[in-house]
């Protein structure tokens, strides 16, 4: 049975400036779901632990639950969106997200919090998968990289505003109000997508296979060397970011005595660096290809990570050099995210939804693993964070740059 939509199919050349702006804003909101869902309740961790009577470590575990839930949840939306179009799975996922936010706001136990965080991740995964697929549907590689850079601008605002907004809501409504706000954000995005986001996958380009055969596409994708290289590279970029998120509170607050109130300023400044990198990327794409840009960005990211680790071990340059190197490494992720994503999805037309879903799964699996590694290797210093960031930078550079120079024939593009 086919799922249909009455909303017109999208073609950028047929859209007015207002329609295009609305589409970009909706896609930006969809890409921000992960950052909003993670960063907004960070200031509430101690209060949640006290209120539920659970260890703080259980609350911290809810981040890992969300990340791994996102990694697995995204796999469902790819085949669904390739068969039925982008809109139906998106609306289902957003509805699930809203329900889970309400569930989080009402929990009474640590187990309940972990459960609803996983459900929230599965629901929010629809936005991440569909937003990438829509961009791939509508634009070629270079233009897609520009669009992903623009979405990074919108997505990058979330890490700046979310912790601040979460802290203020904490004073007024308590931690349950934070999840209530996330539910309201989900409702607003659901309504906007239902009314204003056009269908980007025409019916003639949809894959007319049963779900089992469509799921087999994932196997073909994993055998595609081009796709696998850039998927691993994107996972490494996420690894840099999640290593930073996992380790920076200890680095700034515990080691250098930055107050929790001023922590948000440092966190926001680094988020501005990521935004700046993504907007610089839009200008660079006028003269250089996505591959040329990521060649330099990955080399810079790996170098900054290695120097950051060396500065921590030796103490040379002190706090300000360490912060500067950390800032440079995060700026590079703003250049890397859009270009690696565009290159990974470039060969795929009909199966863009599945390619986007698996890309997100690999991204979040590697990113969450890197973040967890920082905790496992914790030794009372920030070296595990720096070493993990450096390792991700080097591995990403090998996958996207070194392996790209080894000329081999890719296995069966899907």
Torsion-angle region of residue 11: left (phi > 0), alpha (psi -120 to 50) or beta?
Answer: beta
Number of H helices, E strands in the chain: 16, 0
CB–CB of 233/298 below 8 Å?
A: yes
Per the CB < 8 A criterion, the answer to whether 197 and 87 are in contact is yes
pLDDT (0 to 100) of residue 301:
94
Whether the predicted pLDDT of 4 surpasses 50: no
Q: Is the pLDDT of residue 413 over 50?
A: no
Mean pLDDT, to the nearest integer, of 276-297? 90
Asked if residue 389 lies in contact with residue 329, where contact means CB atoms within 8 angstroms, the answer is yes
The runs of H, that is alpha helices, within 139-259 are 141-172, 175-196, 211-215, 217-222, 225-249
> How confident is the model at residue 356, as a pLDDT?
82
The whole-angstrom separation of Cα 98 and Cα 168 is: 22
Other Cβ atoms within 10 Å of 229 Cβ, number: 23
- Those residues whose C-beta lies under 8 Å from the C-beta of residue 151, and which sit 6 or more positions away, are 24, 27, 28, 31, 131, 135, 338
Residue 112 has pLDDT above 80, yes or no: yes
Task: Name the percent of the chain lying above pLDDT 70.
Answer: 89
Which residues have CB under 8 Å from 274's CB, separation 6+?
152, 156, 159, 330, 331, 333, 334
Q: Are 31 and 131 spatial neighbours (Cβ–Cβ below 8 Å)?
A: yes
pLDDT digits (tens, 9 = 90+) for 156-212: 677 677 777 887 888 888 899 999 999 999 999 999 999 988 888 887 777 766 666
Average pLDDT, the chain: 84
Quick: pLDDT tens for 357-385: 888 889 888 988 888 888 778 788 889 99
Instruction: Compute how many other C-beta atoms are within 10 angstroms of the C-beta atom of residue 32.
Output: 26
Strand, helix or coil for residue 111? helix
Tell me how far apart the alpha carbons of residues 341 and 346 are, in angstroms, rounded to a whole number. 8
User: Which residue is it, tokens 């025409």?
Assistant: 202
Q: How buried is residue 212: exposed, middle or buried, by Cβ count under 10 Å (0-12/13-18/19+)? A: exposed
What would the mean pLDDT of 333-341 be, rounded to a whole number?
91
Return the pLDDT at 9: 56
- Specify the length of the chain in residues: 414
- In 10 A of CB 14, how many CB atoms? 11
Here the tokens at position 173 are 């409504």
pLDDT tens digits along 220-265: 888 888 899 999 999 999 999 888 877 887 788 778 887 765 776 7
Distance CA 289, CA 107 (A): 49
pLDDT value of position 143: 82
Taking only the tens place, the pLDDT of each residue in 73-88 is: 888 887 788 888 889 9
pLDDT of the residue at 171: 83
Both tokens of 235, joined, read 């996972």
Mean pLDDT of 396-402: 88
Give the separation between CA 373 and CA 109, rounded to whole angstroms: 27
Determine the Cα–Cα distance for residues 61 and 33; give it in Å rounded to an integer: 19
Distance CA 112, CA 124 (A): 18
Say which range, 141-145, 213-217, 379-383, 389-393, has the weakest mean pLDDT. Answer: 213-217
Of residues 141 and 363, which shows the higher confidence score?
A: 363
Least confident of 70-74, 91-95, 152-156: 152-156
Burial class of residue 179, CB neighbours in 10 A (0-12, 13-18, 19+): buried
Distances (CA, A) of 16 to 12, 23, 279, 306, 404: 8, 11, 23, 47, 39
- Phi/psi for 171 (5° steps) reads -70, -35
Q: Which pLDDT value is given to residue 215?
A: 67
Residue 271: CB atoms within 10 A of its CB come to 24
DSSP-derived 3-state class of residue 100: helix
């Amino acid at each position: 049975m086919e799922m249909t939509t009455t909303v017109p199919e999208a073609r950028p050349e047929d859209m007015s400036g207002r329609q295009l702006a609305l589409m970009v804003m909706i896609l930006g909101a969809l890409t921000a779901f992960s950052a909003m869902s993670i960063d907004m309740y960070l200031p509430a961790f101690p209060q949640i632990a006290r209120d539920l009577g659970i260890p703080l470590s259980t609350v911290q575990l809810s981040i890992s639950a969300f990340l791994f839930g996102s990694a697995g949840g995204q796999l469902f939306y790819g085949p669904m969106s390739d068969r039925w179009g982008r809109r139906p799975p998106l609306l289902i996922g957003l509805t699930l997200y809203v329900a889970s936010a309400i569930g989080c706001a009402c929990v009474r136990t640590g187990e309940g919090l972990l459960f609803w965080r996983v459900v929230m991740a599965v629901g929010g995964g629809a936005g991440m998968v569909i937003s990438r697929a829509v961009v791939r549907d509508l634009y070629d590689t270079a233009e897609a990289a520009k669009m992903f850079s623009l979405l990074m601008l919108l997505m990058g605002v979330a890490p700046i505003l979310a912790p601040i907004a979460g802290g203020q809501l904490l004073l007024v409504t308590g931690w349950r109000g934070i999840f209530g706000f996330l539910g309201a954000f989900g409702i607003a995005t659901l309504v906007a997508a239902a009314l204003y986001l056009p269908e980007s996958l025409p019916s003639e380009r949809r894959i007319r296979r049963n779900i089992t055969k469509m799921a087999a596409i994932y196997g073909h994708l994993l055998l595609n060397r081009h796709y696998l290289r850039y998927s691993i590279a994107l996972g490494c970029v996420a690894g840099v970011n999640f290593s930073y998120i996992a380790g920076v509170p200890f680095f700034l607050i515990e080691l250098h005595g930055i107050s929790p109130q001023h922590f948000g300023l440092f966190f926001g400044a680094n988020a501005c660096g990521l935004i700046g990198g993504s907007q610089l990327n839009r200008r660079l794409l006028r003269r250089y290809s996505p591959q040329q840009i990521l060649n330099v960005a990955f080399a810079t990211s790996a170098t900054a990570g290695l120097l950051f680790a060396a500065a921590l071990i030796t103490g040379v340059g002190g706090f300000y050099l360490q912060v500067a190197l950390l800032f440079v490494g995060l700026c590079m992720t703003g250049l890397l995210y859009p270009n690696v994503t565009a290159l990974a999805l470039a060969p795929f037309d009909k199966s863009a939804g599945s390619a986007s879903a698996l890309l997100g799964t690999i991204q979040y699996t590697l990113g969450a693993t890197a973040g967890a590694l920082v905790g496992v290797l914790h030794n009372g210093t920030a070296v595990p964070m720096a070493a993990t960031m450096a390792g991700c930078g080097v591995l990403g550079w090998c996958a996207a740059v070194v392996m790209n120079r080894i000329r081999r024939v890719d296995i069966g593009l899907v």
